[in-house]
Amino acid sequence: MMANLGGINLLALFLAILATWTLADDCGREFRGKCDCGMRMYNYRPQYVVNCTDTGFRDTLVLEHLPAQTEVVIFNGNKVEELPWNVFGALNNLVNLTIVDMSNNHIREIRGKSYHHVPNVRRLILNHNNLSISRYDDEEYNHHHPRVFSNFINLQELHLTNAFADNTSAELSADLHDIFVNSNLTKLVKLHLEQNEISRFNDRAVFCDLPSLLDLHLGDNLLTELNFNLSCMPRLRFLDLERNRFEAVRPADLALLDDVQKQPGRITPLTVDFTYNPFVCDCSIFPLYEWLDRTNVTVRNPEGLVCFRNRQVREPILKLNVGKCRKFKTADGSGSTADSHTTTLIFVLICLSCVLAVLVAGLLYVSKDKLKALLTPVVDSVSKKVHYTTIKDEEAPEQYV
Higher pLDDT among residues 327 and 246, named by residue = 246
Q: Is the dihedral of CA 28, 34, 39, 42 positive or negative?
A: negative
Rounded Cα gap, residues 70 and 98, in angstroms: 9
Long-range contacts at 326-334 (CB < 8 A, ≥ 24 apart): 326/286, 328/283, 328/286, 329/286, 330/251, 332/251, 333/290, 334/251, 334/254, 334/286, 334/287, 334/290
**What's the distance, CA 179 to chain centroid?**
15
Cα pseudo-dihedral 392, 393, 394, 399, rounded to 10:
80
Find the DSSP H helices in 65-221. 172-183
The answer to whether the CB of 134 falls within 8 A of the CB of 168 is: yes
Task: Give the per-residue pLDDT at 173.
Answer: 82
The answer to whether the CB of 249 falls within 8 A of the CB of 288 is: yes
29 to 62, 65, 312: CA distances (angstroms): 9, 10, 60
Residue 164, number of CB atoms within 10 A of its CB: 26
Find the DSSP H helices in 191-295. 251-261, 286-294
pLDDT tens readout for residues 302-339: 999 999 998 889 999 999 988 888 765 543 444 444 45
| Category of 309 on φ-ψ map: left (φ > 0), alpha (ψ -120 to 50) or beta | beta
Domains of the chain: 26-330 (3.80.10.10)
Q: Is the pLDDT of residue 256 over 50?
A: yes
Higher pLDDT among residues 275 and 372, named by residue = 275
pLDDT tens readout for residues 45-103: 999 999 999 999 999 999 999 999 999 999 999 999 999 999 998 777 899 999 999 99
Q: Is the dihedral of CA 364, 368, 374, 375 positive or negative?
A: positive
pLDDT tens readout for residues 364-400: 777 777 767 776 776 566 566 555 555 455 554 444 3
Task: Give the per-residue pLDDT at 260.
Answer: 94
Q: Which of 199-213, 281-295, 377-391 has the lowest mean pLDDT?
A: 377-391
**φ and ψ at residue 306, rounded to 5 degrees:** -130, 155
Task: Give the per-residue pLDDT at 358.
Answer: 83
Task: Give the per-residue pLDDT at 351.
Answer: 84
- For the entire predicted model, the pTM comes to 0.75
3-state secondary structure of 263: coil
248 secondary structure, DSSP code = S
Average pLDDT over residues 182-187: 91
Residue 362, number of CB atoms within 10 A of its CB: 10
Task: Give the per-residue pLDDT at 87.
Answer: 94
Q: Which residue, among 154, 259, 173, has the nearest Cα to 212 in the 3D structure? A: 154
Rounded Cα gap, residues 313 and 318, in angstroms: 15
Amino acid at site 215: D
Rounded Cα gap, residues 42 and 278, in angstroms: 38
Rounded Cα gap, residues 218 and 241, in angstroms: 5
